[in-house]
Amino acid sequence: MLGTEKVGFLATGFYQRASGQTACHDCLWNASVLPDACAPGSALARSWARVEALFAMYAAQDVALAGFYEGLCTEGFACLPCEPGHMEVGGACAPCVHGHYQPNIGATACYACEAGQNTSAQASTSSSHCVCNPGHE
C-alpha cells in the first residue's frame, strides 16, 4: 500500500526528499539519463504530463504499476511501458504504422495485418482494426 506521501507526488509531480522539509523537488529531475536506460518495451518519460497520462490509462486497464512508483521521484526519471498501439524503438515508444497493430502494453514489435488488409490509422490496438484493402473484399 502506498503511503500518502507517495500518492501526493503522483498528483503533483513534486515530492519531499525527507520528512520535515519545506521545499519540494521535481520528480523528473535527472536529465542526464539516456533512453537506453529503460528495459525493452518501455521508454523514458521526460514530462510529467506524459507520466500522468500513462498512469491514468494503465489504472483504467487495471495494470499494476506499483513497481514504478518508488524510483519515479527518487531516481529522477521514469521508464514506463509503451501503451497499446505502440512499440519501443530505440528507447522511445513509436506508434504502430498503418497495416500493423499492438494490443499489449510494453511491446517491442507490432503485429502485421493479414495480406490484403490495412488499418485506417496508426497506433491501432486490435486486429479488428485491420480492414480489407479496396479490391480485396
What pLDDT shows up at residue 11?
58
Q: Are 39 and 81 in contact (CB under 8 A)?
A: no
pLDDT of residue 97: 97
What pLDDT, on a 0 to 100 scale, did the predictor assign at position 94? 96
What pTM did the predictor assign?
0.75
Q: Can you give the pLDDT at residue 117? A: 94
The whole-angstrom separation of Cα 15 and Cα 81 is 23
Residue 67: per-residue pLDDT: 61
Number of H helices, E strands in the chain: 3, 10
User: pLDDT tens digits, the chain, 137 residues: what are they?
Assistant: 333 444 455 556 776 767 777 777 777 777 888 878 888 999 888 777 888 788 888 877 777 665 665 567 777 788 888 999 999 999 899 999 999 999 999 999 999 999 999 999 999 999 999 999 887 66
pLDDT for res 19: 75
pLDDT of residue 40: 93
Q: What angle do CA 57, 63, 69 make, to 5 degrees?
A: 85
Query: What pLDDT is recorded for position 2?
Result: 37
25's CB contacts (< 8 A; 6+ apart) are 14, 15, 16, 17, 73
